Structures are given as C-alpha cells and as structure tokens.
A = this chain, B = another copy of it.
C-alpha cells in the first residue's frame, strides 16, 4: 500500500437540515471537513495508507476532528496546543436561486502557527510515497506559507511525489497574494492540480483550457498538470507532453461540497499504484461522482464502488488488484 501524507487545516462543519436556514435552525449537523483531510480520507477509503498532519487545540473540539478522520482509517499526526481556536464553518445548502452559502469562522485557528519543525515531528519522510497540500493552507497565515513550502521541499527531497492543488479561495486572500505565494511553491511540486478558473485569476494565464495547460507545463516545474474544469471534467498533461481528457460521470447531486477533494483523493489512490495518468483521472472522476451522492464533505467509498461507476460508464475500470 503506497503511503500519502496530507497537511492542512480541518474545520468543524455545522449545517442545518435541507430547506432550513442558519438564521432559524435549532439543530445543526456536526461533521469535519478540510481539503487535506478530505483528500486523505478519500485516498484511505480507496486503499492508501494515509496520514493527516496538522495542529489542533487540545480540547474536545480538536479531538472531535481527529476522531472523525481516524474513523476512515487515516492516521493523524497532530501537534496539540493550548493556543488558538478550532476552525469552524457553517454551511447552508439552498436550492436555486438561493444557492449554498458558507460562513467561515476560522480566525485565529491553532493551525496558523504550525511550524515545519513541530509538524515534521513523528514523520518518517523517507518512507512517504506522496505529500499533498492545497492552496488553502498557505493562505491562512504567513507562518503557514513558510511551513507549506518548507515541508513540500523536505518531502520532495526525501523522494516523495509532491502534490499541490491551487484551490484559490477569494475569502482568504487576493489573487495577487495567492500568486506571490503559490508560484514559489510550485518549484517543489511534482503534480499540480489547478482549477481552470484559478489558472486565469491567480496565475494570470489566458486562452483556451488546452492553451493554458500547455503554458503551465512550459512555465512551471511540475511533471504533471491536471486542469480541473468543474462540470466539464479535467484535462491533464504529463512530463512527456502526453495529453489526457476526462469528462465527469453523470450524477444526481445530493451534496456537491468536497467534489474536488474526492477527485484528487481518487486520482492519487490510483496514480500511486498504477502510475497511469489516464486511469488515475478516471478513478478520480469516479470517486468525485460518488461523493456527490453523499451528505457532507467526505468520500466514503470503496474501490469496488468506484470501479462500478467507471465500468457502468464504459470506462476501463480500476486498479488491477
């Protein structure tokens, strides 16, 4: 089983029932969510040996986070602290035209002060196959910008495949700030996942998605670029310049939150076994499709279920295990 470490903030997620509003709710669902733990959970459910690494307040709230992550078989490597809050977010899903609204309550989260030294404690970098962080993490504080870069470098130096999903969040920083932070990070990244919208907004790319993909591949360091296109699927290019296209699998969506993380988790679970970008894209898309039928951020899936989705759509199907 290949191993994956992800690093980032995980929040508590509070949400009213369908059709209900935060303003009038008297009961909230209580879950955990965060790009990096979402990816670790999807990957663990699909067979990787995954570890999530972060800093949390030493409180029932912090332990609530690790309990849910561990329930999916993910190991947790946590720096416990008495300083800082447990990040939280409220999500109110609404039909159109109301739409979904999110209220982040992550000010002063404990993770913001996490240093490379404290996070690295307990990690055997030599035996890590892959390391993943999203672009949300460096957006959270100056310290985390440094920590993200430092750990990516260290993981890459130790031989891990480093993976970065740009995942720009306008509520956290400006495109210019994101640009300044992410460009240097891409130096230590082997696989970059970049939403087409962010490529334009943050990396100032232009042209068609295919043109952007080529431009990224010639401008930046990563071997593999996956350009995600929302409802249109994803396209990718590898070090050899081979191009890949992956449409989305048709779904009746129950809850779209976490789709991108499920895609990345599925992609990595497969890629680290098969080293086939095409199969990994298909696997990521299958994982993402299943996620959308499930309440909450998490891809609670099995390899067999992902493979059934791929096969039903006429795809190649799975990792030959």
A interface residues (Cβ-Cβ under 8 A, vs B) = 14, 17-31, 59-61, 63-64, 66-68, 70-73, 85-86, 88, 90, 92, 94-98, 101, 103, 105, 107-108, 249-255, 289-290, 292-296, 298, 300, 305, 308-309, 312-313
Contact A61 B22 (CB under 8 A): yes
Q: With A and B bound together, what is the CA distance between A293 and B73 in angstroms?
A: 28
Cβ-defined contact, B108 with A251, below 8 A: no
Asked if A21 and B96 sit within 8 Å, CB to CB, the answer is no
Contact between A60 and B92 (Cβ–Cβ < 8 Å)?
yes
Is the Cβ of B95 less than 8 Å from the Cβ of A19? no
A-B contact pairs, 13 of them (CB 8 A): A14-B14, A21-B294, A23-B64, A23-B300, A26-B26, A60-B92, A60-B103, A61-B103, A70-B70, A88-B105, A94-B294, A95-B254, A107-B107
The interface residues of chain B lying within 8 Å CB-to-CB of A29 are: 26-27
Expressed in whole angstroms, the Cα–Cα distance for A72 and B66 within the complex equals 9
Asked if residues B60 and A21 are in contact (CB atoms below 8 Å), the reply is yes
Q: How far is the CA of A264 from the CA of B253 in the complex (A)?
A: 32
A90-B61 CB under 8 A given contacts A14-B14, A105-B85, A300-B23: yes
> Is B60 a contact of A67 with CB atoms below 8 Å?
no
Given A27-B29, A28-B30, A73-B70, also A250-B60 (CB < 8 A): no
Minimal Cβ-Cβ distance residue in B for A62: B23
A253: chain B residues within 8 A (beta carbon): 95
Is the CB–CB distance between A98 and B305 below 8 Å? Answer: yes
Q: How far is the CA of A308 from the CA of B100 in the complex (A)?
A: 13
Q: Which residues of B contact A308 (CB under 8 A)?
A: 97
Across the interface, A59 reaches (CB within 8 A) one of B17, B61, B103, B305, namely B103
Q: In the bound complex, how far is the Cα of B96 from the Cα of A249, in angstroms?
A: 10
Contact assessment for B95 and A300 in the assembled complex, using a CB-CB cutoff below 8 Å: no
Residues of chain B within 8 A of A31, CB atoms compared: 26
Whether A64 pairs with B107 at a CB distance below 8 angstroms is no
Cβ A71 vs Cβ B24 within 8 A: yes
A71 to B19, alpha carbons, bound, how many Å? 18
Question: Once the chains bind, are A19 and B70 in contact (CB under 8 Å)?
Answer: no
Q: Is the CB of A67 within 8 A of B72?
A: yes
The smallest C-beta distance from A117 to any residue of chain B, in angstroms, reads 22
What would 16 more interface pairs be, CB under 8 Å, given A14-B28, A21-B60? A14-B14, A18-B295, A19-B294, A26-B29, A60-B90, A61-B90, A67-B73, A70-B70, A85-B105, A85-B107, A86-B105, A96-B250, A97-B309, A97-B312, A98-B305, A107-B108
Which residue of chain B lies nearest to A101 when distances are taken between CB atoms in the complex? B60
Cα A18 to Cα B93 with chains together (Å): 15
Select the residue from A29, A251, A300 with max chain B CB neighbours within 10 A: A300
Selected contact of A95 from candidates B73, B97, B252, CB within 8 Å: B252
Q: Are A293's CB and B98's CB within 8 A?
A: yes
| Across the A-B interface, the 9 shortest Cβ-Cβ residue pairs | A19-B295, A71-B71, A95-B252, A98-B293, A22-B60, A95-B293, A67-B71, A19-B254, A97-B309
